[in-house]
Amino acid sequence: MEIVIVFIALLLSGGVSFFIKNGKKGGMITLGGQIVAGIFSLLLCARTSGGTALAVLNFFYVDGLTAFFLFLISISSMATAFYSLWYFKDDENTGFYNFLFNIFVFSMYFVVTVNNLGMMWMAVEITTLSSAFLVGYRNNKTAVEAAWKYVIICSVGITLALFGIILFYYTGLTQAGIKSLNWTQLNAAGNFLDPMVVKAALIFIIVGFGTKAGLAPMHNWLPDAHSQAPTPISALLSGALLKVSLYAIIRFMIISSKSVGFSFCGNILGLFGIISLAVAAFFMLVQKDIKRLLAYSSVEHMGIISMGFYFGGKTGVFGALFHTLNHAAAKSLMFFSSGVIIKKYGTNNMHQIKGALEVLPFAASAAFLGMFAVAGLPPFSIFMSEFTVLYAGFKGGFYFSSSAVLVFLAIIFGALIYHFSGMIYGKKPSEMFRIKESLGITVLFGVMLIVLLALGLHIPEFVNTLIDSASNVIFGVE
């Protein structure tokens, strides 16, 4: 029943905030909606993460894998709604923003909880459509260009994925007589599916949903959309949306593993993963725009997660899922803190941002520490998950690709240090003065940093259970 309350809460807060002119009040209502939805989805997590699967109304299906993504979406959306409140504090007429924000979060919850794969496809498309106007929110030339590319490229990808879904339906129907697209039914009949059809379908599905997940070379929309969207939306795109698309791929990977094994899906993901790392490393070196830098860093991290699935085994999948969580936390922190800096300096250009530590000590320190977290330096948790993925790679005998990952990580680390030290230190422009920073936002940064540190030092029991039960679903362990 929790799941119904989640959706009602989001629809209500979306509907009400649409009519609120005042930015602060609308933001409060949206935040309230996210908190109610978040609490109930966390309750649902708690109930299912032990390994019990729930079917609700014969339409929703919640198991360990869903629980993991529910956790991710609820935390990201609550943090982002809180940050939006600050980001739009001086703006009027944010009703449209708040409305779309709620629908966007709604559709992400829908993707991970719905049982029917056709409906899941529809929900992924709705995530694109509802966030299109959020990306183009500023309505200037660059924002509209980014939004246009975003909708067109993602819709094309998703249309190709639909072809793959139809092929899955075809083989389910002819080989196992299933007249339905329910994941539970297709998964139960996984052994009977025709391997050739499944392979053909998987190519379409991974390319299709991979476009939305930001895997290179289908990533072209991502830097544009991330750099032009309002900062809270950039954080939500990076932290939650990319992973939700990955969730769709994982669902199909589970079904297909019974007929063609994990390696087929894993190999394709590995190919895209290594290309993503290479592309990201190059573009991060030459980047000028801070938000594009962070966007390419998301491409990189999606690449690492894909590599985790490629290396496979319990360790690889654990690393990939753990990395999913860490990346969401670290990248949200990066977007949030850079958003504060960008708002003060009025530019995205990293060459024009100097001496941020003097002007905005808290935000700048958060950005600098967050940068170390994103770059994967110990003791932050991203180091642990990257280490786990690489360990799986070397243990599994993938020496060449694991070494390649290491090289790209080193390049990216250098690029991040180079760009950020210029912004944080350096001489501040003479017309800039230190300003008072919002207490709420500073506390948010502090909490996120502590989470990243704590996860790096010790994985708490509940996070462990979440990841374990998700990976049990992937490997089909009852």
Applying CB under 8 A, the residues found at the interface with other proteins are: 116, 118-119, 121-122, 125-126, 129, 132-133, 136, 139-142, 144-149, 151-152, 155-156, 159-160, 162-163, 166, 169-170, 173-174, 179-181, 194, 196-197, 199-200, 223-224, 227-228, 283, 286-288, 292
- In the complex, the smallest distance separating the C-beta of residue 211 from other proteins, rounded to whole angstroms, is 12
Closer of 3 and 198 to other proteins (Cβ): 198
Q: How far is the CB of 44 from other proteins (least distance, A)?
A: 24
Nearest approach in angstroms of CB 119 to other proteins is 6
- Cβ nearer to other proteins, comparing 39 with 285: 285
- Pick between residue 76 and residue 259 the one whose CB is nearest to other proteins: 259
Pick 234 or 306: Cβ nearer other proteins? 234
Min dist CB 340 to other proteins, Å, is: 23
Compute the least distance from the CB of residue 263 to other proteins, in Å.
18
Q: How many residues does the chain have?
A: 478
Residue 47 beta carbon to other proteins: minimum distance, rounded to whole angstroms: 28
- Shortest spacing between CB 456 and other proteins, in angstroms: 32
Would you say 284 or 369 has its CB closer to other proteins? 284
Q: Of 159 and 263, which CB lies nearer to other proteins in the complex structure?
A: 159
Please identify, using beta-carbon distances, which residue of 47 and 351 lies nearer to other proteins. Answer: 351
